[in-house]
């Protein structure tokens, strides 16, 4: 019987003290997995009021009867990624599920690049966005993929964005990085196929997270959803988390190299 039972599995979700990552982590724990919580710092969770701290989210996982730990690392630094992955493996013995959730359209010195098109964007913002959204995924997959390859089992779930599958007028570097994750997923899925490691990607639609709400205004037309169908509305975190849970479960055992693109248009 196919189900979402993840008992005995150990999951690591990057950027999971807040936003979509926190929802993914909680739902993986509810399905039975022990979950490692991560963010760049202990207080990052409080930035948009979604949790008091990273350790508080780990406590939420423990309250569900699962093991958890909160680990910090700057995933724009490859050396920190290597240390972080080694720490996670050493502390829990193995990693069965990796969700590469950390990312965002964040400038080097500003909440979002400004300007945020292809021509006028600052070079430092191009580097910042690529490091946060593409380099971190590739390095996480390098180290965790080697671990899973040696064990001949594992699920890697990369997180892209629906923005990477439509023409973008703003956030072009971010959208391009997310599009690259889809192709990287296809390639890595083929590389790890002989080792029974599944690699898939979810490209979430716009979703009501703390950061999303804080960086939009009424003029963005994302708060009034009256008259729209369920599939046209801005998503809730639970909507995206159900898909991650599917990819982590036995229901996706024969799926690899694929991207599930969620669109509201």
| Separation between Cα atoms, residue 119 and residue 174, nearest integer Å | 14
Which residues neighbour 253 within 8 Å (Cβ) at sequence distance 6 or greater? 198
Give me the torsion for CA of 159, 165, 170, 171, rounded to 10°.
20
Give the tokens for residue 149: 């390859």
> Three-state SS for 87?
helix
| Separation between Cα atoms, residue 92 and residue 180, nearest integer Å | 31
Q: Exactly one of 24, 143, 174, 208 is catalytic; which is it?
A: 174
Can you name the residues that pair with 69 across neighbouring β-strands?
A: 36
What is the gyration radius of the CA atoms in the chain, in angstroms? 17
Q: Is 104 left (phi over 0), alpha (psi -120 to 50) or beta?
A: left
Is 174 among the catalytic positions? yes
| Separation between Cα atoms, residue 197 and residue 148, nearest integer Å | 7
> Three-state SS for 198?
strand
Indicate which residues carry an active-site annotation.
174
């Amino acid at each position: 019987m196919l189900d979402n039972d993840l008992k005995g599995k150990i999951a690591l979700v990057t950027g999971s003290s807040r936003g979509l990552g926190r929802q993914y982590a909680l739902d993986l724990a509810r399905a039975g997995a022990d979950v490692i919580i991560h963010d760049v710092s202990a207080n990052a969770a409080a930035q948009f009021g979604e949790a008091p701290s990273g350790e508080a989210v780990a406590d939420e996982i423990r309250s569900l009867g699962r093991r958890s730990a909160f680990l910090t690392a700057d995933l724009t630094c490859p050396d920190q990624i290597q240390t972080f992955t080694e720490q996670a493996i050493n502390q829990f013995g193995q990693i069965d599920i990796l969700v590469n959730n950390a990312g965002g359209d964040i400038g080097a010195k500003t909440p979002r690049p400004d300007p945020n098109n292809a021509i006028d964007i600052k070079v430092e913002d191009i580097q910042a966005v690529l490091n946060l959204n593409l380099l971190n995924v590739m390095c996480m997959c390098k180290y965790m993929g080697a671990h899973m390859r040696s064990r001949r089992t594992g699920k890697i779930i990369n997180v892209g964005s629906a923005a990477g599958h439509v023409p973008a007028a703003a956030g072009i570097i971010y959208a391009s990085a997310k599009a690259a994750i889809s192709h990287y997923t296809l390639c890595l899925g083929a590389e790890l196929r002989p080792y029974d490691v599944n690699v898939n990607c979810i490209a979430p639609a716009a979703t009501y997270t703390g950061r999303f709400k804080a960086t939009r205004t009424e003029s963005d037309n994302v708060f009034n959803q009256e008259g729209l169908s369920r599939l046209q509305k801005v998503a809730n975190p639970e909507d995206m988390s159900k898909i991650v849970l599917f990819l982590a479960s036995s229901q996706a055992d024969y799926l690899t190299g694929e991207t599930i693109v969620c669109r509201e248009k």
